[in-house]
Amino acid sequence: MKVIIAAIGKEKSGSVKDICDSYMKRIPWAIELKEFSAQKNLPENKLKEKEAELLLSAISSKAKLIVLDENGENPSSIKLAGLISKWQDDGVGEIAFLIGGAAGHGKQVLKKADYTLSFGKLTWPHMLIRPMLAEQIYRIYTIITGHPYHRS
């Protein structure tokens, strides 16, 4: 399985990046973080369009897209692992998680989403979502493989 995390904003060095890197190193799947920056002084709708183009440029046409969005589903880790396990069984070899900018995702990203994921009703800083997502990807891997990391 190949996993791409495509995100708006560049993660600086420090403890948040270290946590994200720590989980990414634990994941046996091929995983890559692709970061993008768009010109900030654009009107919000143009900024979202530009960010959408950047995010979509990071993924192949074969990838299943999981878009992180506040209006998405808030599944349990087991349910999300079940979805990804089903995709694996169906022959999917690549999954991309897309993290938008502060204004949210452009329409073209939301239209292409195979699944829209929310980390709850709370608002999280975009840079904290990365280590949270990396941990969930690791947790999903351990659930699928029967590793004892996830205790339920």
In-domain check, residue 95: yes
Give the per-residue pLDDT at 152.
64
Non-local (6+) Cβ contacts of 95 within 8 A are: 1, 2, 3, 4, 63, 64, 65, 66, 84, 87
pLDDT in tens, 75-89: 999 999 999 999 999
124-132 average pLDDT score: 89
Looking at this protein, which amino acid is placed at residue 15?
S
Asked if residue 152 is part of any domain, the answer here is no
User: Which pLDDT score, from 0 to 100, does residue 127 have?
Assistant: 81
How many domains is the chain partitioned into structurally? 1
Range of the domain at 136: 2-145
Read off the pLDDT of residues 19-75 as tens digits, 9 standing for 90 and up: 999 999 999 999 999 999 878 788 999 999 999 999 999 999 999 999 999 999 999
Amino acid residing at 118: S
Share of the chain above pLDDT 90, in %: 83
Residue 31 lies in a domain: yes
Residue type, 53: E
Is 57 part of any domain? yes
- CATH number, domain containing residue 81: 3.40.1280.10
Would residue 93 count as lying in a domain? yes
Please name every residue paired with 36 in a beta bridge, in sequence order, or none if there are none: 8
